[in-house]
Amino acid sequence: MGIHKRRRKRDGKLRYGVTIDRDGHQVWVGTFETLAEARRAQRAAQDERDEPRPQPPALALTCDAWVDEWLEDVRRQRKPSTYRTHRDAVRKFRGDFRGKALHALTREEARRWAQRNAWQVSAVVACLNAAVEAEHIDRNPMRGMSHRGPGRRHIPPPSVEEIEALAAAAQEVDDAYGSMMRADSLPRLHRSTGGRGVRPGVAERRPASPAGADRQDALRGRAATA
């Protein structure tokens, strides 16, 4: 490494060749007319050599890759049935945004997708919340887009007559449930829940409404006179 004097053959003029050491090898920099030029070239080459080399950028985490990672956590930590439910719910999101960088998913893209896939939004919101928790993204682009439906609370429970008709029809069904659902079993279940259309275990924990209590009294009276 250094500056080497070189004399040009055709006219005998002195020139200066410059080399530097790079990774244990001599690297030729060039030939210069004056010593000052050679020294400047040597310093520039050494500075360039000593600068930190830029590392190749890490591959951005994609939406589908994160979904796979999140599902693996769900599989390890939750019940198999929960895992299957989440897997099915995020399958379309994974396919629609395959290859797209997770951090590049915009609020508008998330909104449009949520409008077309309402029933899957809740699971995707949970998936993206986990990405925020893992510090892959700063904010969940689908936050606030999961809205629960009205459920069945607005649907009135079946009447006694409907329950009796269902129980009677069950006797005619030739399967495992038909033999279990005798004509008196469903009406008894209806009476045990106070006509509220809920499971007996839930009914024990939930106080009956005044309307439900009135219906229950009516049913008891009807049973006593039967």
Query: Is the pLDDT reported for residue 85 higher than 80?
Result: yes
Distances (CA, A) of 215 to 91, 130, 138, 168: 46, 47, 54, 22
Angle between helices 160-170 and 185-192 (to 10 degrees): 150
Q: What pLDDT, on the 0 to 100 scale, is given for residue 180? A: 56
Given a contact cutoff of 8 angstroms between Cβ atoms, the answer to whether 93 and 124 are in contact is yes
CA distance 168 to 157: 18
3-state secondary structure the chain: CEEEEEECCCCCCEEEEEEEEECCEEEEEEEECCHHHHHHHHHHHHHHHHCCCCCCCCCCCEHHHHHHHHHHHHHHHCCHHHHHHHHHHHHHHHHHCCCCEHHHCCHHHHHHHHHHCHHHHHHHHHHHHHHHHCCCCCCCCCCCCCCCCCCCCCCCCCCHHHHHHHHHHHCCCCCHHHHHCCCCHHHHHHHHCCCCCCCHHHHHHCCCCHHHHHHHHHHHHHHHHC
Query: Is the pLDDT reported for residue 196 higher than 60?
Result: no
Look up the pTM and report it.
Answer: 0.46
At residue 55 the predicted structure's pLDDT band, cuts being 50, 70 and 90, is: very low
Q: 209 or 119, which is more confident?
A: 119
Query: Is the pLDDT reported for residue 134 higher than 80?
Result: yes
The pair of structure tokens assigned to 201 is 């275990």
Q: 220 or 7, which is more confident?
A: 7
At residue 97 the predicted structure's pLDDT band, cuts being 50, 70 and 90, is: very high
Tens digits of residue pLDDT in 151-193? 566 677 777 777 777 777 776 664 555 555 554 555 555 555 5
Q: What pLDDT, on the 0 to 100 scale, is given for residue 1? A: 57
Query: Is the pLDDT reported for residue 5 higher than 60?
Result: yes
The pair of structure tokens assigned to 144 is 């606030």
At residue 65 the predicted structure's pLDDT band, cuts being 50, 70 and 90, is: very high
Percentage of residues in the chain having pLDDT higher than 90? 37
Cα Rg for the chain, rounded, in angstroms? 39
